[in-house]
Amino acid sequence: MPQEIEPKWQAIWAERGVMKADDASPKPKFYDLVMYPYPSGDLTVGHLRNYVMGDVLARMKRMQGFEVLHPFGWDAFGLPAENAAMKRGNLHPRTWTLENIAKGKRELKMAGILYDWDREVTSSEPDYYRWTQWLFLLMLERGLAYRATAPVNWCPVDKTVLANEQVINGRCWRHPDVEVEKRDLEQWFLKITDYADRLLDDLSLLDKWPHKVRVMQTNWIGRSTGAEVDFPVDGLPGEVVRIYTTRPDTLFGATFMVLAPEHPLVERVTTEKHRARVREYVEKARKETEIERLSTEREKTGVATGGFAINPVNGEKIPIWVADYVLVTYGTGAIMAVPAHDERDFEFATRHNLPIREVIAPPNGPQGLLRQAYLGAGALVNSGQFDGLDSTAAIERICDWLEQKGMGKRAVKYRLRDWLISRQRYWGAPIPVVYCPNHGIVPVPREQLPVELPAEYKPLSEQPDWYQTKCPIGGEDARRETDTMDTFIDWSWYFLRYASPRDETEPFDPELANHWMPVDQYTGGVEHAILHLLYSRFFVKVLYDAGLVAYTEPFMRLFNQGMVKRFGQVMSKSLGNGVSIDELAGAQGADAGRIYEMFIGPPEEDVEWTEAGLNGVVKFLQRVWRLVLEPDSIVPEGVASGAKVDATVLRRKVAQTVGKVTEHYDELRFNTAVAFLMELANTMQDYLQTGGNRDAEWDATVRTLLRLLNPLAPHACEEMWERLGEKGLIADASWPEFEAAAAAEPKVVLVVQVGGKLRDRLEVDAGLSEADAVKAALASEKVRAALNGRGPSKVIYVPDRLINLVP
């Protein structure tokens, strides 16, 4: 009857404040964080999976004597609220958001997940975004927030700009079928690139993060080393085309140059004869979408400018081209093309009949005519005084030489771009600055925060009553910034706010934040591998530099759970394949659902939700119920059968299970933890069925099983605990101690191999010496037969596991 007992215990936990975190507790702290969700209002058992993981860990850690911080909140700004408001006419995004939050909260409670709700944060409420704005001002003060005009990504559906991280294959991250457009707009950026090296280097501190996420961040930052080299423009004294290359060793192989269509020098280097064609090409390139331009499938187009540059290493005159395969946003927006040793340049040269000169010889000597670009290392050829040098050494020598002559210098480049944070939306935190005709960009003074959103839902730029203001410095008429911030700014510090969620004087209390932080376990979807996780790392480093936090990385251990699918698709209400928490709680119960979510498969893998699987878990819970409360129903009337389990065997199994389950919960290997609990229940059943006594030791065993199972099935365990006559809550009970001595097996099965093939299994005393093991093995008929008279010439003995006799 989960429908009766589950609400009962949920009420009791809430009333007793079971998961309240005490800032002043002397216990060691454990910060257990799950990514705060967008309150979309369609919570299914699929969304529940990572919250159950967090809850299991929180409940165990509490029982183990940790002061656990297990908070929850809402990423409440964002477009779905605006879309819902637009669709439903007079509905305000805030109303919609708060309704969904209430719904979500109810369902989480229904699933038995315990949070310290006193610390709940909602990013769209003024008492939160006031501090989001405060942190923006901090960035501004520290020179990390700036306005710039740049070609930015524009989503025509959401009618707002997007950060690079929010553009996926040239399409909007929220609309996989909508291509982003490029628009030249003046926008706010955060200088995350100033932190590129630290963001990269500190990844090495995150050894408890998934390898995959670290690789993705490394690639996203995309650090490369090389050189910037100036190529003087022929006939324009003083004018140079500066290029960036990672292969200074191939400088002598440059046979032409390429400028990006948007490169500022295009007009200058173009000759009259070529001007019309170049202009036409540049126009066309501008109009093309990112997807068209970035497609590697497409043949490389480009036009000659008629201008020439001088290769500084050999004085050679080489033509300057314009082509859209060179990006204005990376490096210097211009390249030297070395077709012999770069695939893209090779393709372009072949297509446009440009010369190809080999300057790096593969190990077996120069190839002469190249059929494809040679990208590897080798000896330099056709490279003047550098001939014969190995390419690796040549990079250094040529860089030295360039620096000496003042023609170039070593340089480091990143793929990472500054973070564009302006959004042309209503439902976000307003950027707290004022534009004054006399004082320019004026930050809103901190004591005037929050800059609250106007009550009416309408674009801010259409609300003069709101944006018309006075300059905070001179008092003259001024205009507020009407853009709001990317919601990933809200995301970048919410985990700090949980430390002092009602603080009215600062975003977070540094002392409390230093007490609880860093997060010990962070659980959430892999979709944030770059976005949120990179931005938050950046924020924390800035806060560290500002002396506000004492650590440089926010999340010590990260786990990405897999998604729950049904009928092969990710569960969702809109697809109609979702199982709601109400349905689950009303049928098999939240406890069964919780265990099933953990048992269904490896936590990091996507899994398929099936009724049959859920039923298996229901049976397990019922079996535990009977073992604990109705043991008579398990003892058969007739003869005892099954494996004989005596008190000693059971005692050992209990001790082993305590060790295994604790370890596997800690490592988030919940599927195997459940399997161990099932094994223990099976052994307990065998014990009863083969004549085991229900003595004091049995009573202790039952209580151990319940405590181990409690994090997974807390309602049922509380109920059984109470019915056993225990006074306090099992949630407050202590975690069973692992006793290694009790878990040790006195007898072990020793596998006997002959020449690596299994020939016999012997039950022997644990800790047998090698000599005795050999003796025992040779006493076996089967082993002697396999040896067939050939005495073992070699013995490999792995104590308590295996002996291998090699003939």
Partner RNA sequence: GUCGGCGUGGCGGAAUGGCAGACGCGCCAGCCUUAGGAGCUGGUGCCCGAAAGGGCGUGGAGGUUCAAAUCCUCUCGCCGACACCA
The closest alpha carbon to 252, from 355, 372, 323, belongs to: 355
Among 69, 304, 607, 668, binds RNA (CB under 7 A): 607
Residue 789 touches RNA, criterion: CB under 7 A: no
Tokens of 241: 């085309």
Among 3, 314, 641, 769, binds RNA (CB under 7 A): 641
Q: How far apart are CA 622 and CA 410, in angstroms?
A: 70
Among 117, 134, 146, 330, binds RNA (CB under 7 A): 330
Q: Binding string, 101-140, against RNA, x = CB under 7 A?
A: ----------------------------------------
Shortest separation between residue 514's beta carbon and RNA, angstroms: 33
- Residue where the block lists tokens 């999976």: 49
Residue 801 touches RNA, criterion: CB under 7 A: yes
Contacting residues for 313 by C-beta, under 8 A, at least 6 apart? 251, 252, 384, 398, 402, 407
| Binding residues for RNA restricted to 761-780, rule: CB under 7 A | 761
Among 325, 516, 522, 538, binds RNA (CB under 7 A): 325
Residues in contact with RNA, counted by CB under 7 A, come to a total of 86
The answer to whether 730 and 721 have CB atoms below 8 angstroms apart is yes
| Binding residues for RNA restricted to 587-606, rule: CB under 7 A | 599-602, 605
Q: Binding string, 252-291, against RNA, x = CB under 7 A?
A: --------x-------------------------------
Residue 224 touches RNA, criterion: CB under 7 A: yes
- Secondary structure (DSSP) of 470-510: E-TTT--EEEE---EE-HHHHHTTHHHHTTSTT-SSSSS-H
Shortest separation between residue 22's beta carbon and RNA, angstroms: 36
Residue 174 touches RNA, criterion: CB under 7 A: no
Among 615, 648, 693, 769, binds RNA (CB under 7 A): 615
The answer to whether 144 and 542 have CB atoms below 8 angstroms apart is yes
Q: For residues 504 and 630, which CB has a smaller minimum distance to RNA in the complex?
A: 630
Q: For residues 354 and 436, which CB has a smaller minimum distance to RNA in the complex?
A: 354
- By CB atoms closer than 10 A (0-12, 13-18, 19+), residue 114 is buried
Angle at the Cα of 286 (from 280 to 289), degrees rounded to 5? 130
| Binding residues for RNA restricted to 180-219, rule: CB under 7 A | 211-212, 215-216, 219
Q: How far apart are CA 203 and CA 215, in angstroms?
A: 9
Which range touches RNA (CB under 7 A), out of 86-94, 420-428, 467-475, 799-807?
799-807
Shortest separation between residue 775's beta carbon and RNA, angstroms: 19
The closest alpha carbon to 95, from 120, 117, 71, 76, belongs to: 76
Residue 168 touches RNA, criterion: CB under 7 A: yes
Among 25, 207, 208, 295, binds RNA (CB under 7 A): 295
Q: Binding string, 732-761, against RNA, x = CB under 7 A?
A: -----------------x-x-x-xxxx--x
| Binding residues for RNA restricted to 393-412, rule: CB under 7 A | none
Contacting residues for 87 by C-beta, under 8 A, at least 6 apart? none
- Residue where the block lists tokens 């299914």: 44
Among 11, 643, 700, 771, binds RNA (CB under 7 A): 643
Shortest separation between residue 92's beta carbon and RNA, angstroms: 34
Residue 669 touches RNA, criterion: CB under 7 A: yes
Residue 782 touches RNA, criterion: CB under 7 A: yes
Q: For residues 395 and 499, which CB has a smaller minimum distance to RNA in the complex?
A: 395
Phi, psi dihedral angles at 283 (to 5 degrees): -60, -45
- Please list the residues that pair with 72 across neighbouring strands: none
Count CB neighbours of 246 within 10 A: 15
Question: What is the β-pairing status of strands 171-172 and 167-168?
Answer: antiparallel
Among 498, 620, 721, 735, binds RNA (CB under 7 A): 620
Residue 693 touches RNA, criterion: CB under 7 A: no
| Binding residues for RNA restricted to 476-535, rule: CB under 7 A | 526, 530
Q: How far apart are CA 494 and CA 119, in angstroms?
A: 11
Q: For residues 99 and 800, which CB has a smaller minimum distance to RNA in the complex?
A: 800
Residue 628 touches RNA, criterion: CB under 7 A: no
The closest alpha carbon to 126, from 420, 410, 437, 452, belongs to: 452
Using alpha carbons, list the distances in angstroms from residue 255 to 171, 246, 251, 326, 486.
35, 17, 9, 16, 44
Shortest separation between residue 528's beta carbon and RNA, angstroms: 11
Q: How far apart are CA 424 and CA 562, in angstroms?
A: 33
Shortest separation between residue 719's beta carbon and RNA, angstroms: 19
Which range touches RNA (CB under 7 A), out of 150-158, 264-272, 458-466, 608-616?
608-616
- Secondary structure (DSSP) of 274-309: HHHHHHHHHHHHHHS-HHHHH-SSSPPP-EEEEEEE
Among 636, 691, 728, 767, binds RNA (CB under 7 A): 636
Residue 178 touches RNA, criterion: CB under 7 A: no
| Binding residues for RNA restricted to 341-380, rule: CB under 7 A | 342, 344
Helix (H) or strand (E) holding 258: strand 256-259
Shortest separation between residue 622's beta carbon and RNA, angstroms: 6
Residue 679 touches RNA, criterion: CB under 7 A: yes
